Chain A
């Protein structure tokens, strides 16, 4: 499928096809293609067809079918869907059936979106390669022997593979942008609080975001438009009004000031560096004013991030104790044994590593040295961006130091895997909107994304730069 929101809308309104036909075709194609990549964990034919029939009814009755009318959408399996299995790619939640929908899911379906299935990811969204899924890794559709990135690997892969038109991911330290870059699709991490997290399984609450994947910048802007805005079920969702993102996409970015952080170009693989430099030259040709900026605390961001995210994860994952969430060890005798054995059997290696690290940094005697220190460094990282945005409208750079790597290549070295998050974690720590837009391919044909970063609630500037770039590039 090479559809966009507009192409499907056009067909539906011209009565060329019904939404039900679109949904059936999407489900059939996705189910047939899935063995190649393992990107979907669960399909939702009944739910999809019911949603599609409702769109058809509205069109027949001349009612507005909504901005996402009939569009096949895949949802990362950490986002709750009522009555539809939601596993977080973990043995712990293998049989978990959520009793309610996430707010983002409700808004998508109210807008006419057709949810066709749930996508694979790293267990509880912890990982950068999708190899930490309890249900097997996802393969990158562009190169099947390589990882799709993580943690939202399945959500990026379904867009690259054409088995969904839109998808949702979650981003805590780069989990939307890095797989978008690896799979050659568009992926957006909005401002912290822009999209309600009600119904997003909590990993690190001060860093978690929900965001869209799509083939075009315009489609991501549309999907964000539908989801963004205050939700009283999430007290951290922002009150700021939501502007019309798509209306601002006129392709004209003449005179915009674009910052290039020099710290983002140390240790960059040469192919990736060349592609990013070419993208900067393209922005200059489009009339942007290119300025060097400095984000001096970048080198401390990974250490800061892995203290904060593991500390918060160790608290958030304490709830999986064998009492409420489906799994309880059969070997349990006492209450204490039940907790320990359930968690030992239910969690994979990466989750255990992060729970352990988080418990350690929060334990008596270490709090000041680790957690408090990290919160102070986080303030410095955020200040770097605040100062840079006094001089520029947007910042661009790489998403990842290298393109998609081979399956198994980095699984035995967690520290080196963590360090590859260097260019993405700073945006999450500051809470600012960031996205990846396809910028080119290496000599081996592997996609490389350009990261576009803007100030809090200035998604419009971010989308304008990415959209203007997309219009003149052909990736």
Chain B
């Protein structure tokens, strides 16, 4: 096995996902299958290869900067319109710090 149920529980915590017991069992099997395939990458010697994090094209360093002109941003009401709970111009969340 490439991954255990215990590790899956830990990863679910990191990812902020509340998985059920059934989901944990299924997820362990699925992740194991994919990680087993991914193991194939270790066949390749990449010690002298530069990692590619983006597709990059040649241009001047500042070529992608926009002109420094003031622009009207999205207004407060528009920005909050999709919030499940908001008030006084802010997003509202459950109490974080007790008095």
Binding site for B on A (CB under 8 A): 96-97, 99-100, 192-193, 206, 232, 235-236, 238-240, 297, 299-300, 302-304, 306-307, 314, 318, 321-328, 332-341, 343-344, 347, 352-353, 355-357, 359-360, 363, 370, 372-380, 382, 414-415, 418-419, 430-431, 456
Contact = CB atoms under 8 A, between A and B. Distances in A.
B37 A356 contact: no
A357 B41 CA distance: 16
5 contacts: A300-B44, A314-B15, A373-B42, A415-B36, A418-B34
A356 B10 CA distance: 10
B37 A338 contact: no
Contacts of A375: 51-53
A352 B34 CA distance: 14
A316 to B, nearest CB: 13
Given A300-B40, A344-B19, A352-B23, A206 B46 contact: no
B91 to A, nearest CB: 5
A363 B11 contact: yes
Contacts of B78: 99
Given A97-B82, A334-B94, A379-B49, 12 more contacts: A96-B82, A99-B74, A192-B55, A335-B93, A340-B17, A341-B18, A343-B16, A352-B19, A372-B51, A375-B52, A377-B44, A379-B51
- Size bracket, chain B contacts: 35 or more
B16 A326 contact: no
Contacts of A314: 15
Contacts of B74: 99-100
A474 to B, nearest CB: 36
A99 B79 contact: yes
A357 B57 CA distance: 30
B17 A343 contact: yes
Best-surrounded residue of A327, A380, A415 (most CB of chain B within 10 A): A415
A414 B49 contact: no
Contacts of A341: 18
Contact of B94 (A232, A239, A332, A430): A332
A193 B55 CA distance: 8
B25 interface: no
B37 A419 contact: yes
A337 B81 CA distance: 23
Best-surrounded residue of B43, B52, B59, B66 (most CB of chain A within 10 A): B52
Interface in B34-78: 34-44, 46, 49-55, 57, 59, 63-64, 66, 74, 78
Contact of A356 (B11, B51, B52): B11
B40 A356 contact: no
A463 to B, nearest CB: 20
B12 to A, nearest CB: 7
A37 B82 CA distance: 30
Contacts of B46: 373, 376-377, 380
A318 B17 CA distance: 10
A193 B39 CA distance: 31
A418 B30 CA distance: 11
A306 B38 contact: yes
B17 A415 contact: no
B97 to A, nearest CB: 10
B94 A333 contact: yes
Contact of A380 (B15, B18, B49, B66): B49
A352 B27 contact: yes
B91 A299 contact: no
A232 B66 contact: yes
Contacts of B1: none
Contacts of A97: 81-82
B81 A335 contact: no
A339 B23 CA distance: 18
Nearest to B64: A235
A217 B31 CA distance: 39
A239 B82 contact: no
A13 B71 CA distance: 38
Given A360-B11, A378-B52, A382-B52, A352 B16 contact: no
B3 to A, nearest CB: 7
